[in-house]
Structure formats: structure tokens, C-alpha cells
Amino acid sequence: MRPLLFAANWKMNIGPAEARTYLAAFTKAYGRHPDREVWFFPPAVSIEAAAQTIAQRRDLRVGAQDIHWEPKGAFTGAISGSLANQAGAHLTLIGHSERRHVFGETDAETGKKVTAALAAELQPVLCVGETLAQREAGETVPVVTRQLEAALGGRDGKARVTIAYEPVWAIGTGRNATPKDAAEVHRAIRAWLKARAVTAPPFVILYGGSVNLKNAAELLAEHELDGVLVGGASLDPRGWAQLVRTAAG
């Protein structure tokens, strides 16, 4: 069975005390499966509580939702990779659609953040994806390739970077990409990663955008998908445990 990755993006939900309660319920409902890892991306204030609560479970990991590219300094409201690491994060999302489209994060900034994450010993999960207008104009692969090139193209190392393909039109809309549509973009991403050789294999590519208990198994039956990045459907610990348990590859 191929290993599968289930990433929960809590966005601006679940404070520290709630994170402890959530993870106690989750670990009770979900025992370790050798072929699965579950990653949690709490808001920054809850990273430490989350990391402490699951410290005994090697199959569960915690990450930041975003980091600044500078290691320290006068950046009110931001956290650095090192601060996230000190709080117990092992991973960080970079370039999530909401960072790009709500907060105006640029392609160039995602590149600086990838470098900063690796310097702070956080594994980056780089999010890429096209808007509806770009998809309808047939620009999906060029857009995603541009985002990959900006974030990773300048690298000469072979760092481990996970990619999350999240079409903007599918996030929080209840409208997910079909397994076939997602697979097509995943193939293009995998081809780019292999050809450019700026990240280390295995090339792990997650799909995100309105994944839920009903569609997860069908999406993960598509072998191009190595896992899922889930927002809304990860907020209830028992529902999320059920999704991780039942969505076998």
C-alpha cells in the first residue's frame, strides 16, 4: 500500500485549549496506521499546545500555516521559521491561496519563505493553484509552473519539499476538482519536479480544495494523489479521524 498523507489546515480556528481537546479526541478516535501520516496546521498561537499533545505519536506532526522569510526583526504580527520551530512545528505551509489572494503574497515571497523554512529546519509544504479565470483560459499548467519556478527554481539543493495542488476555485467552495482533473495537474507538477531536480524525491503531491468524507476516497483512489490538504472537513476531530481512517489509497 502506498503511504498517504492527510494534512489538516485549521486556518483561523481552534485556540490552544481547544487544540488540546481536539487532539485528545482525535488520538482516541484514530490509532496509528503504518501507511499514513497526519499533519496538523493550527494557528500560530496553538502550535505549542498541539505539538505537546501529540508528542508521543510519531505518525502525527504539527506545522505552521505561514512564516516570515526573515529570521527575526521588526515584523509586527509575523512569526519566523525559528519561532515556529521553537513552538514545536516541523513543517510549514507556504503560499497558501489565502496568503496569496487575501494578503497579497507574491511568487517571489514564496521563494524567500521556502529558503527560510529550510534554514529553520521546517519542511515546506508549497501550495500552488490556479484561479477559475485562469483555468477557463486554459492557463492552469503555466500558472502552476510559474508558481513552482518562482518558489523553487532558484534552488540548487535537493531539499525535501511537499507540494499541495489547491485550485483557488475549489477552496472552501464545496466544488472539488475531479480526480482526473487533479491527476492531470499532479502529473505536470511531478514532471516539473523531476526535470528541474531542485527538490529531493519522493515527490509528494497533495490535493486540496473541498475535500471531505464523501469525496476523499474517490480522490485518493487516483494514484497521482499522495494525500490531501483539508480545511473545513478537518475542524471536527471525529469526522477528520473518520476521513483519515476510511480514505484508503
Q: Which of 96, 98, 130, 224 is catalytic?
A: 96
Contacts of ligand PGA in 81-140 (CB under 6 A): none
C-alpha cell at 221: 483512489
Contact 249, 4 (CB under 8 A): yes
- How many CB atoms are located within 10 Å of the residue 74 CB? 6
Q: Which amino acid is at 242?
A: Q
Least distance from ligand PGA to the Cβ atom of residue 157, Å: 26
Q: What is the largest CA-CA distance in the chain?
A: 48
Residues 183, 124: Cα–Cα separation, whole Å = 22
Asked if 247 is part of the footprint of ligand PGA (rule: CB under 6 A), the reply reads no
Contact 42, 35 (CB under 8 A): no
Q: Which of 48, 105, 130, 166 is catalytic?
A: 166
Q: How many residues bind ligand PGA (CB under 6 A)?
A: 13
**Of the candidate residues 49, 231, 237, 244, the single one contacting ligand PGA (CB under 6 A):** 231
Stretch of 59-67, 116-124, 151-159, 231-239 contacting ligand PGA, by CB under 6 A: 231-239
Least distance from ligand PGA to the Cβ atom of residue 121, Å: 23
Asked if 229 is part of the footprint of ligand PGA (rule: CB under 6 A), the reply reads yes
Residues 229, 249: Cα–Cα separation, whole Å = 15
Stretch of 46-54, 78-86, 103-111, 224-232 contacting ligand PGA, by CB under 6 A: 224-232
Which C-beta is closer to ligand PGA: that of 87 or that of 177? 177
DSSP designation for 43: -
96 is catalytic: yes
> DSSP strand E in 111-241: where?
123-128, 162-165, 205-208, 227-230
Element holding 8 (H helix, E strand): strand 4-9
Which C-beta is closer to ligand PGA: that of 153 or that of 232? 232
Beta bridge partners of 207: 165, 228
Least distance from ligand PGA to the Cβ atom of residue 230, Å: 5
Asked if 166 is part of the footprint of ligand PGA (rule: CB under 6 A), the reply reads yes
Contacts of ligand PGA in 188-217 (CB under 6 A): 208-211
Which C-beta is closer to ligand PGA: that of 198 or that of 233? 233
**Of the candidate residues 9, 115, 123, 145, the single one contacting ligand PGA (CB under 6 A):** 9
Residues 40, 6: Cα–Cα separation, whole Å = 9
Using alpha carbons, list the distances in angstroms from residue 234 to 54, 89, 242.
16, 18, 10
Q: Please identify every residue annotated as catalytic.
A: 96, 166
Residues engaged in binding ligand PGA (CB under 6 A): 9, 166, 171-172, 208-211, 229-233
